[in-house]
Each structure stands twice: as C-alpha cells, then as structure tokens.
Structure 1
Amino acid sequence: MTPILIVVIAVTALVSFKGFNDPSFFSKYEFHIGRIQSGEKYRMISSAFLHADIGHLFFNMFTLYMFAPIVVAYYSSFYFMVIYVGSLIVGNVLTLSFYKNNPHYRAIGASGAVMGVLYSSILLNPGMNLYMFFIPIPIPAYVFGIGYLLYSIYGMKKNSDNIGHAAHFGGAIGGFVLTLTKSPEIVMTQPVLVGLLLIPIVALFVLIKTNKL
C-alpha cells in the first residue's frame, strides 16, 4: 500500500471516528444543501471524511484499497489525488445541482471520490474482474460500472433511500473524464469500452434535459 493511500485512509478513519462520537462535529462538516448555499462551501470537501457508521467507512476504504493501487501504478500518487479529489468535487457538485431545491438534503461519505478511482481503474485495466460477496462468479469490471451507473439513475429517480446516488454518479464521471484527459489514447485503444461507459452518462443528461429525472 502506497504512502498516499495510507494517509487518505488514516485521515478518513480518524475524522469519521471523531464524527461517530461528536454530533456537533458531524453536523458542522456534513454535506448540507442549505448550509452550502448559505456560504459554507468547505462542506463540499469535509463531508467526504465523515461516514454513517463503521460498515460504511469500511466499505468505502476497502474499495479504495483495492483499486487505488492501479491508478497509482499507471500514473503517480499526485495524479491519484487529482482523480480522488476531482471526483469528490464533481460528485458533490452534481448532488448540489440535483437537490438544489431541497435545502434539508444531507449526505456524508467518500463514495463519490471512491467511485471516481474505481472508474479510472476500469479504464486503465479493462480486463479485470470484480468479485461480489453475494455473486460466486467474476464480473467484468466494465459490466459492473455500467450496471452501477444505471442503478444510480434509478436511485436518483426514485429518491427513496439514504444512498448518495448523485454523488456516486458524479464521482464516476469525474474519474472517467480525468482519466481520459490524462490518457486520451484510451479512446483509440479501447473505443468500445469508452462508448459503453458513456451510455449511462449520456442517458443521465438526456433524462435531466427532458425533465424526466
């Protein structure tokens, strides 16, 4: 595990545990639409270091632990952080835009940033498979990616759970764009993969444009 990944996981864990035991600290740094609109922009970043519980924290950090090394190996620790922070920001900007008329909307977690890293790793290593705890067979990473974004669109439309679907989707877009910006040759070497991953992204913007989401 690279030093930068150790730092990200350690800082996220420390801040999350502080939030578990300090409601006022948690409230001050969570993603809160009304507070952000009133000027507390720091919540766009600070909310990524808070998690709902140990399970939420573990899932995000374990996913990051699994896929961040791919991005670091292809690029560098610096560009890994560009993708991580960039995806976090894109995810929260999309969330802010999508829920701008709901000042009480709240969210926490590094899921958007982690999704960006996951999508970057799919583009960089398209042949890898993912193994899910409840599915005993390997799943091609790109199939998981497409399916998860389609599920995120469904979740955004239903808006009936406490999952930050917009942050997940925005984070994936961030990882997708930042990876292709750094490695545009992927468009030529993996055109089918890039096209397939674009399908849910285009679908989202079409649904938003036509007021169906």
Structure 2
Amino acid sequence: MDISLIIIIAINCLVSFKGFNDLSFFRKYEFHVGSIRAGEQIRMFTSAFLHVDIAHLAFNMLTLYLFAPYVIGNLGMPPFIIIYLGSLIFGNLLTMLLHKNDYNYRAVGASGAVIGIVYAGILLEPNLEIYFMPGYIFGIIYLLYSIYGMRAKADNIGHTAHFGGAIGGYLITISQVPQLVSQNTLAVILLAIPIIILFIMAKLGKL
C-alpha cells in the first residue's frame, strides 16, 4: 500500500476516534450549516475526517482501500490526492449549496472524497466489476439512487455529499486524463446523464 494512502487512512482513523471519545471535539469540527455560515469554513474540510461510528469509518476506509489502487496505478499519487481532496470539497460545496437555508443541517464522513475516488476508478477502468455489474452501470444506478435519497430525505445518509463527490471525481479525472473522452466514450457519456439530471432538477427547484 502506498505511504500516502496509509497516511490518509491513518488521519481519518485518528480524527474519528478522537471524535468518538470527545463530543465537544466532534461538535466543533463537524459539518454544520449554521456554524459555517457564521464564518467557520474550516468545518467544510475537517468534517470529512470525522465519522459517526466505527462501522461508518470502516466502510469508508475499506472502500477507499479497494478503489485507490486503480487510481494510483493509472495516474500516480499526486493526481490521486488531488481527486480525493477535490471530491471532498465538491461534496461539501454541493451540500452547502443545497442546504444553505437549513441552519441545523449536520454531516460528517469521508464519503464524498471516497465516492470521488470510486468514480475516478470507474472512469479509468469502466469494465471494473462492482457487485456483479460493470462499474459504469453501478455508477449510474448509484447516482440515480442518490438523487432519490436527496429528494426523499428519509434517512441520515449524506446523499448530497456523495453526489457532489462523484461530480468532483468525474470532472477532475477527465481534466487529468482528457483522452478518456475518446477512449471510454460510452462510460463518460452515461455517467454524465445523472449529473445533468441533478442540475436540471435543481434548476427547476425539485430538490
């Protein structure tokens, strides 16, 4: 495992375990719309290293561990870090945009960053098998499910951050490897469809 990946996983674990055992620390650095709008923008970054519980942390870190090699193997470590951090920011920016008037909205987790890495891996390896289906098919289903979750608001999953992270992973990866548009055209087009749907729905006030 690459040392940079180990460091990212270690930071997530250390910060999360601190949050598990220190509620004031958790509250100080979680994503909280009211606090961010009051000037605590650091929460846009720190919240992505906190997790609700060990299961939440383990799932995100396992997913990152499984998909990071596809990105690192194809692009190298610097682009991997750019995609990870960029997807983190995309996820929280979209969350802030869509929940800016919900001052009590709270969220934590690396999911946006991790999903960005997942989508980068899918773009780079579109036939990568995920749950017995090609990666790009999984990506479409996942984004459509995220739109449903954003509209339904029936659970505590940060669907908005997931979607924003996927957009970040999609755009940054293509900017890093523009030839993917010609090499993996079908996957690039199909994965863009849910993103276009999201922006149309947002424009129409359906989210």
Say whether the fold is shared (TM-score over 0.5).
Answer: yes
Name 2:196's counterpart in structure 1: 202
One-letter amino acid of the structure 1 residue matched with residue 125 of structure 2 = N
Name 2:158's counterpart in structure 1: 164
Name 2:125's counterpart in structure 1: 125
Name 1:180's counterpart in structure 2: 174
In 1, Cα distance between the equivalents of 2:101 and 2:154? 17
What is the Cα deviation at residue 94 of structure 1? 0.2
Aligned sequence identity (%): 57
Give me the TM-score of the superposition, normalised by structure 1.
Answer: 0.96
In 2, Cα distance between the equivalents of 1:161 and 1:128? 29
Name 1:57's counterpart in structure 2: 57
In 2, Cα distance between the equivalents of 1:210 and 1:87? 25
Query: Residues 95-134 of structure 1: matches in 2 within 5 Å?
Result: 95-131=95-131
**Which 4+ stretches in 1 moved above 2 angstroms?**
none
Name 1:134's counterpart in structure 2: none
What is the Cα deviation at residue 159 of structure 1? 1.1
Name 1:83's counterpart in structure 2: 83
Deviations 1:100-156 (A, max 9, x none): 11000000000000000000000001111013xxxxxx1211111100100000010
CA RMSD of aligned residues (A): 0.7
What is the Cα deviation at residue 180 of structure 1? 0.3
One-letter amino acid of the structure 2 residue matched with residue 207 of structure 1 = M
What is the Cα deviation at residue 60 of structure 1? 0.2
Between 1:69-78 and 1:9-18, the stretch displaced more is: 69-78
- Residue in structure 1 matching 2:147, options 149, 153, 163: 153
One-letter amino acid of the structure 2 residue matched with residue 53 of structure 1 = D
For these two proteins, the number of residue pairs brought into alignment is 207
SS of 2:133's equivalent in the other structure is strand
In 2, Cα distance between the equivalents of 1:207 and 1:70? 32
